[in-house]
Amino acid sequence: MEKQSTNGRTKKGSGGYSNITVKKETAIRFRSYSKRFGKSHSEVLDGMIQYFKENNLDPFGEGTKIILDSLKKLERQMMKKFDRLIAIIKNMEKTSIRPTYEMVLILYEAYVKDGRKPRREPVQIQEERMDFLQPRNTVPKVEHDRMLQEFKEYKKRCNEILNNVEKVEPMMGKPYLKINMGIGDFESLKHQLR
């Protein structure tokens, strides 16, 4: 830091100081305000002026009043929306949640007063039928071979489709699967499956 000499005395600082005359009440308010920042009065005043310049604010003009008015208007609008939401929630509570809760409560109380215990019926599992192993009608070998060949072709076609499936993870939403297939192939597959 440079030292500046004035009239034989030295003062610390990079520039000279100047006196500004302000009312006593204003000086007291400014001192207590600038203590909050832990900086000198000059730094706080410079910061305030810079803030007003950057934001194009006029402390005595209409700009500040307009901003404050718009903030108050926004607050009123938000409060109205909150009031509407509260009314909707209260309506839902009256018309759907409460009645359902009370109906379940009444049913439960009636059940408890009755003294019945829940009765579980055993699940009956049917015996597996093994009669499909018994030969009924036989298929000729030629027909069997043709069906096997069709099945192999069908399996091959399914594997081709599965190999053309890719997972897509969008920025928003759930991931999904995409099949890379031409329209002609898709129409052909639809026709085959009819």
Q: Note the pLDDT tens digit of each residue in 72-83.
A: 888 888 898 888
Contact partners, residue 100, CB within 8 Å, separation at least 6: none
Which pLDDT does position 127 carry in this prediction?
Answer: 55
CA-CA distances (angstroms) from residue 138 to 134, 135, 148, 174?
Answer: 11, 7, 15, 50
Six-digit token pair at 25?
Answer: 């009440």
pLDDT exceeds 90 at position 140:
no
Six-digit token pair at 75?
Answer: 């607050």
Which of these, 179, 181, 161, 178, lies nearest to 170 by C-alpha position? 178
The rounded mean pLDDT for the chain is 76
Rounded CA separation 102/132 (Å): 54
10 phi, psi to nearest 5 deg: -110, 140
> What's the average model confidence in pLDDT over 91-105?
75
